Amino acid sequence: MNKEKKHEVRNFLDYQSRTILLCAIGAVALIIIFVLMFAENSGNKLVIKNNTNLKLEYVKTNFINADDSINNSKTANNIDSHKTSTLTQKTIDLTGTNANLEVRFKFEGKDELFTDAGIFNDKLNGNVKITFTQKDDNTINLTVKASNGLLTSNSIDCNEHYTINLKNGVISE
């Protein structure tokens, strides 16, 4: 084979390799974009996990600030032991409100308890997760977390941990 034909074959293979490589990079970029879009749009849920041996009669949530209730209350009723309840919620504009998430709950046969969690100063279009975990017969750990998905906001700070003493009806941080 003469030098010109070898050079033409090599140029063709280089062009073909570059084309395949660019197509592969483009495909990977599209897949990443679709995954990120799906993850961002899968939010707006209130998830309540009851990892205790007790039944939760209800869990009520509401955003409040110094002036009043923001009026976005959600209620999950009758969450059995070791079950999860998921509620959908709309995007909530809490920009500049310095709001807290009030969480009221009642275990079967116990008094209602409540706590305020987090500081919210931005639109919440992500998930709020409330988890009750039993430590012993009289002690339950409560975790309240909120986030806006992959693109988090510094204006939403909610990653709270509480200890609930069922015997005394006291919540402590």
Range picked from 20-29, 37-46, 122-131, 145-154 for highest mean pLDDT: 122-131
Q: What is the pLDDT of residue 52?
A: 94
Q: What is the pLDDT of residue 9?
A: 56
Burial code (b: 16+ CB inside 10 Å, e: under 16) for 2-39 equals eeeeeeeeeeeeeeeeeeeeeeeeeeeeeeeeeeeeee
Picking from 126, 70, 130, the residue whose alpha carbon sits closest to that of residue 94 is 70
The structural architecture, per CATH, of the domain 45-172 is: Sandwich (2.60)
Contact by Cβ (8 Å): 133, 140: yes
- The 10s digit of each residue's pLDDT in 112-134 is 999 999 999 888 888 899 999 99
Q: Rounded to two decimals, what is the model's pTM?
A: 0.74
User: What percentage of residues in the chain have a pLDDT greater than 70?
Assistant: 84
What's the start-to-end Cα distance of the chain, in Å?
81
Average pLDDT over residues 1-26: 68
Q: What is the pLDDT of residue 50?
A: 96
Domain ranges of the chain: 1-41, 45-172
Q: How confident is the model at residue 5 (pLDDT cuts 50, 70, 90)?
A: low
User: What percentage of residues in the chain have a pLDDT greater than 90?
Assistant: 41
Range picked from 22-36, 47-61, 110-124 for highest mean pLDDT: 47-61
